[in-house]
Each structure stands twice: as structure tokens, then as C-alpha cells.
Chains A and B, each alone.
Chain A
Amino acid sequence: MDGATRQWETVVVPLGAFAAGMLVFGAFCATMGVNPLAVYASIWKAGFGSWYSWQNTLVRASPLLLCGLCTSLPARAGVIVIGNEGAVVVGGLGAIAAGLATLSFPPWICLTAMGLASMVCGGLWIAVSVALQHYRGVSAVISGLLLNYLAIALMNQLIEGPLRDPSSLNNPASYPLTADHRLAYFDGTHVHHGLLFGVAACLAAWFLLERTTFGFSMKISGGNVRAARLVGLPVGRIVVTAAFLGGACAGLAGMVEVAAVHGRANESLNAGYGYVGILVAFLSRQSPLAIVAVSLLVGGLLASGGMLQRAHDLPDAAITVLQGILFLFILLSDTLYGRLRFPGAKQDAITS
């Protein structure tokens, strides 16, 4: 297949799937007695229509960037990881433990410790599940899913036990960080600096995959594991490292929740960002740069969920329905690659 067709495909197929998904969602709205065009207009207005709406979108996109990478990086090395939620939770727990231990130090030391601790915790969490698959044959999908529950149980144990601030009577939470030991916000906005971590991580992931030998060997392992073994690549180490990097990103998302949003750890760490991250990773076809665009898109959709309820009286599940429909269409569209003909493009030819 020639390059032009392939480039067309990577644009036309996802956009087509997105458009088809929006059409079906429109039909869903129509069955609820709501004008679909008005719904589209509301989604645009609430997600992207003004700088005010953009702030809302950016706030919601910020954790998705990191959580998307948690599925995307291991996927490039050939493993499906869906334990993102657990990695976010343990990352947040690692962050608060490190943060509370270093409160007496200057803020930059404290925040660095929190960041590192969260990445190590999240990274190990995912690496363990992937290592179990690679070395012991335990499906990483299953173990990742089950580890989510373990992470939540661990969180409840810690915030209702050793980390618990006794003054948090009816909403068990850890001791808080002090105000100057928290991540700041961009001046004049309600967007926190966690957004930078997400964008930087996506750029770094792109660099790793496209510009380094390790990234190249990750893609070989993911593309054809037997070929990778034949050329002598240490597949196990590559796969587990990719998993560690992905988990570290999700862990960092937990640190951002603790350090920027809550200022402490509580059960809101388990807010579902990890699961939306899986959606983001698949929508972006596991490409780190596309994750930036897709996170903004999904963030905008999430930002518009409230307006759908208030302006159109749609149920609160409407935005979840939209996400589900889009997910299905994107997965379905994967089967179209290589089957589309574009005007002006040459036919496939068998070339050497």
C-alpha cells in the first residue's frame, strides 16, 4: 500500500468512526425526545465554545493524558493493560505517603519526592501484572482488573487506618498537605500544572517510541514477538519495562490528584480516570501524540455532560452512553484499515 493511502486512512477512518458514533448518539437523543442538533451545539458550547469552556475541558483532559499512556505504552510492546485505575490509586497513595514524610522540606523537594514515589508505585503495580503474564502465563487483563480491587482495598485500609486524619470524621481522608506544598494553578485560570505533566509525558513517550532504539525494540516485540526473539531481543525485559513506564504515568496522575486537586488522599482517588484512560488509549490507536488530541476531545465531552443534563434534561448516563458508542465505532473501524480505496491512490501492488 502506498504512503498516501495510509496517511489518508489514519485520518479518514477515525474521523469517520467518530462521525458515525455522533450520528448514532444523535438518534439516541432523538428517541429521548431531544433535538440532536441542539445537543451537538451544546456539546460544542460546553466543551470548546469559549476560553471558559476550554478550561473545563483542559481540567478534565489532564488526568486522561497520563492514564491513556498507561494502556498505550504496554500496548505498543504487545500487552493489553487495563489496570490503570489501580495504578492511579497506588500512585496517589505513594504520593501522599512521600508528601507527608517530606513536609518539613522545601516544596520542590516534597513535590519531587511525591512525583517519584507515585511513579514507582504505579509502575511496579502494572509491571507486576505484566510480569505475571509474561513469565507465568497469568492474563494481564484479568490480573490488572483484579489488582484494581486490591488497590482500592489498600487505599481504604490506609485512609481509614494509619494515614487517617482524625478530624476527617464522616469522610475518611489522610492528613492534608500544607498549602505551599501543593501543585500550583496557571495564573488566572482553574487549570492546574498537572496538565504539563500529561503533555510532557505524551511527548516523551512519542520520543521514546519513534526516536530511540528501546522504543524500536518495543514496537518489534509488540509487532511480532517471535521475530523479536529470533533477533535476540530480551522480550521479557522490554515488555515489563514498557509496563513499568505506563504504570508510572498512571501513578503520576494519582500524584496530581493528591497534590493539585485534593491536597490529601481520600476515596476520590478512585474516580474512574483509569477506565476513561483505556478508552482514550484505544481511540488514539495507542499513539502518544494522538492521546493529546483524544484526551482533549474526551475531556470536552465530559465537560459537556452537565449541560446535557441541565439544558436538555438528558439523564446523567447520556455522556457515558456517548463514550460507549464512540468506543464501539472506533473498535469496529479498526477492521477497515487496508480495505478502503481512495480516489487518486494507486492500487496495492506486490513489491519487493
Chain B
Amino acid sequence: MSLTRRDLLTGMAAPMLGRATGPLVIGFIYNGPKNDLGYNQSHAEGKSTLRNLPWVKAIDEASVPETVAAEESMRDMIFQDGASVVFATSFGHFDPFTIDVARENPSVQFFHCGGLYDEAKHPKNIGIYFGFIDEVEYLSGMLAGMATRTGRIGFVAAKPIPQVLRNINSFTLGARSVNPRVTTKVVFTGDWVLPVREAEASSSLVDQGFDVLTGHTGSPRVIVQTAERRGVFACGYQFDQSSLAPRGFLTGAQWAFGTVYQRVAQMVRAGMSVSNGTIPRRLTGTLKDEFCKLSPFGPSVTPQARQRVASAKAAILGGSLEIYRGPIRDNEGKMRIPAGKALQIVDVELDKMDWLVEGVDGRARG
């Protein structure tokens, strides 16, 4: 049955994709609004950098839920706008939606942010891209460690999943690298976009004496705003939130997806494709590859602090500073990375992280 469905749809697509003379049409779907000052805006910002390439026509749809609506949006982009490349930016857009539409449209190339690709089960025309932002979190954590007077940092996070735990741990490692007495308290809100609960958690952390706040939610907008209103420092995440806290903003770890989008567009224009392997199946990058970067420094960051972060950044880029270098214990005392061993930032072991580093007050399970 799936064969007939595929045949019919590709049959429909063929005449539309035939006109190769027009611009290269690239479609983007985001899970939330384009102006969330968070994850979705970081992708929309990346898409907007394609304006520099006059032969690209980039189209997008915001607030595409992780339901059949995602499939329909991708199909519309292919059939109605003639898109030959589609970027699905939310984790939940992958299985089964991107997989199904990719299977129906073998001549269209799909790229998904962070999906778990399985060579045996999934169609060949899907590429995976994502960035490793731990090192940037580490640098951001250094500034937090230098700024805090109470030695207590609050971290408001959505869910205890590996991606989030990595950020909590790398941020804390950064903070403790400059001030070993610093502790990080984690509050899980339970979901990606819960502005009211994020504000309550932030406010209550300030009440308890935490004087630097950061977070990992869909957009830590509310966390940064609450910190500013309560007169404490804030580090951002996902997107540049410096405008929200003109006094207390330190810096933040933010994505730079434009790097990926421009590179893929160039490769597709050069006739390369992920189906035949000329575009790598996994396109990943770190600070060094400019997949992510530090947000602009706030006014309270001293020249000495800037200098210290700059030299740590240079050490990371040069390879002399590895942030996951043992000995690293978790917060229950168990040795996780023994002395003398270092995990590379791209190590798959880190993708399964289910522990919190020493110095974090919180539990990795719920």
C-alpha cells in the first residue's frame, strides 16, 4: 500500500520539480513562533542569512506542531512552492513525519536538526545536522562563576534529558573552573515553554540568594527578564537575549545555524546530495566550526573577565582545554570520567548523559 502512495505522490511531484531553471527553493519548519528570542528564532535567524545568496528562495512556516501538521506543511512546501530542500528544525518533527515525507519524495533532500538517524530503517535522502554547544556553555559558566558573590547559581531547565544535562554540567564545570566553591541549583519545569512556571522558579531562586540565573528552555527569555527585574545577573541560551537585561546580562550560549544553512545551500547548488553521500549524513559542528557562539557581553563584565574568557576560548579552539577531562565525579560521588581520561565533545557517550556533575544541586531523574 505504501508503494502506491509513494508512486502517486512522486508522480505528482515530478512535473513540478522538473522546472530546474528557477531559484533553489528551501523550506523551513519551526515548532514555535519565529520571534521567541529562543530556539525557533535562532533557526529563523539562520534562515534569514540565506538572503545573501540571491539564487536561493527560502520559505518558512512557524508554529508547526509535532503532529501530522508537520507532514502536511513539508508536503505543501514541496508541491505548492517547489521546495527541493526542507529543513525540519524541531526534534519531534523527525519521527515519523520527516521520515514519511522523505520516503514519499526521494528527489527532495531533507535535513533534520538532531534526529536519531538509522541507516537500516530510514530513507537515504535525510541528513542530520546539529551543534555541540557545551564549550560555549562552559565559557558562559566561567563568567557566571566570576560574577556570583553568593557562590550560588540558579539553572531553570525544561526536562532532565541528555541535551539539557550536558548544558547544566558544562556550565557548572565552567563556573567551578574559576571558583571551585560555586554550586548550581537546578529546577526542572517539566516542559519547553512554560513562561509562568519559569518566572516563578526564577523568582524563588532569587529569593533564596542565587545571584546568577540561567536556563535551558525553549527560550530563557522569562528567566533573563526575571533576573534583570530582581537585580541579579543572567546568562542567556539559544538566542541573543542581551536586549532583555541591559544591566545584568553577562553572556550566553547561542546557536549560529546560518553557518549550516548557507553551507548546505552551497553544496546543493554544486549538485551534491545527501542521498548519494556527497553531502555528509551527519553535519555537526562545535564552537570551532561556528555552529554556536557566545552572546555579546553585558556591561558588568570586566575587562579582566573578558580576558580570562578569551584565553579559555583560545585554549578550547587550540585543543589545549578539553572541558570533559577527568577526574569528573557526579553529584552522588560516583567517578564518571577518571583522571587522565577526556571525553571529546563529539563523543557519543556524552549523548547518553544521565548524571549531574559534582557541585550541582538537583537530580538527573525527574
Contacts and interface: CB of A to CB of B under 8 A. Distances in A.
Contacts of B67: 257, 261, 268, 271
Contacts of A339: none
A310 interface: yes
13 contacts: A169-B116, A169-B352, A171-B161, A187-B1, A257-B67, A266-B92, A267-B92, A303-B72, A307-B76, A309-B62, A310-B76, A315-B62, A316-B34
B96 A262 contact: yes
A108 interface: no
A172 interface: yes
A306 B73 contact: yes
**Chain A interface category by residue count:** 35 or more
A302 B162 CA distance: 34
A184 B1 contact: yes
A99 to B, nearest CB: 16
Interface residues of B, number: 45
A310 B81 contact: yes
A290 to B, nearest CB: 24
A188 B159 contact: no
A310 B114 contact: no
A169 B352 CA distance: 7
Nearest to A157: B366
Nearest to B67: A271
B69 interface: yes
A59 B79 CA distance: 17
Contact of B366 (A56, A161, A303): A161
B267 interface: no
Interface stretch (B4-12, B256-264, B334-342): B4-12
B55 interface: no
B198 interface: no
A316 B33 contact: yes
A139 interface: no
A257 to B, nearest CB: 7
Interface in A154-173: 156, 160-161, 167, 169-172
Q: Which 3 pairs show the lowest CB-CB distances between chains A and B?
A: A316-B62, A316-B63, A268-B66
A56 B34 contact: no
Interface in B1-44: 1-2, 4-5, 8-9, 12, 33-34
A188 B100 CA distance: 14
Interface of A: 46, 52, 56, 59-60, 153, 156, 160-161, 167, 169-172, 184-185, 187-190, 257, 261-263, 266-268, 271-272, 302-303, 305-307, 309-310, 315-317
A257 B100 CA distance: 16
A46 B75 CA distance: 12
A249 to B, nearest CB: 18
Given A185-B1, A316-B63, 18 more contacts: A46-B76, A59-B72, A60-B68, A169-B162, A170-B114, A170-B161, A170-B162, A171-B161, A187-B5, A190-B75, A266-B92, A267-B66, A267-B191, A268-B66, A272-B65, A306-B61, A309-B62, A316-B61
Nearest to B8: A188
A184 to B, nearest CB: 7
A60 B79 CA distance: 18
Contacts of A305: 61
A304 B64 CA distance: 12
Nearest to B9: A190
B59 interface: yes
Nearest to B96: A263
Contacts of B76: 46, 56, 306-307, 310
Nearest to B80: A307
B77 A310 contact: yes
A256 to B, nearest CB: 10
Nearest to A194: B68
Nearest to A56: B72
Nearest to A169: B162
A190 B73 contact: no
B60 interface: yes
Contact of B69 (A60, A169, A170, A307): A60
A43 B366 CA distance: 44
B65 A268 contact: yes
Contact of B68 (A59, A160, A309): A59
B163 interface: yes
Contacts of B290: none
Name which of B76, B77, B159 has the most chain A CB atoms within 10 A of its CB.
B76
Nearest to B192: A267
A46 B80 contact: yes
B219 to A, nearest CB: 15
Interface in B106-134: 114, 116
B342 to A, nearest CB: 22
A156 B190 contact: yes
Contacts of B80: 46, 307, 310
Nearest to A49: B80
Interface in B292-322: none
B172 to A, nearest CB: 20
Interface string B169-191: 00000000000000000000011
A172 B191 CA distance: 11
A271 B114 CA distance: 21
B127 to A, nearest CB: 18
Contact of B159 (A160, A306, A315): A160
A268 B90 CA distance: 12
Nearest to A156: B190
A207 B12 CA distance: 40
Nearest to B163: A170
B68 A172 contact: no
B241 to A, nearest CB: 21
Contacts of A184: 1
A306 B59 CA distance: 10
Given A169-B116, A263-B96, A310-B81, A185 B5 contact: yes
Contacts of A56: 72, 75-76
B68 A261 contact: yes
A190 B2 CA distance: 10
A305 B161 CA distance: 32
B135 interface: no
Given A52-B79, A187-B5, A306-B61, A172 B161 contact: yes
Contacts of B91: 170-171
B35 to A, nearest CB: 9
B71 interface: yes
Contacts of A190: 5, 9, 71-72, 75, 100, 104
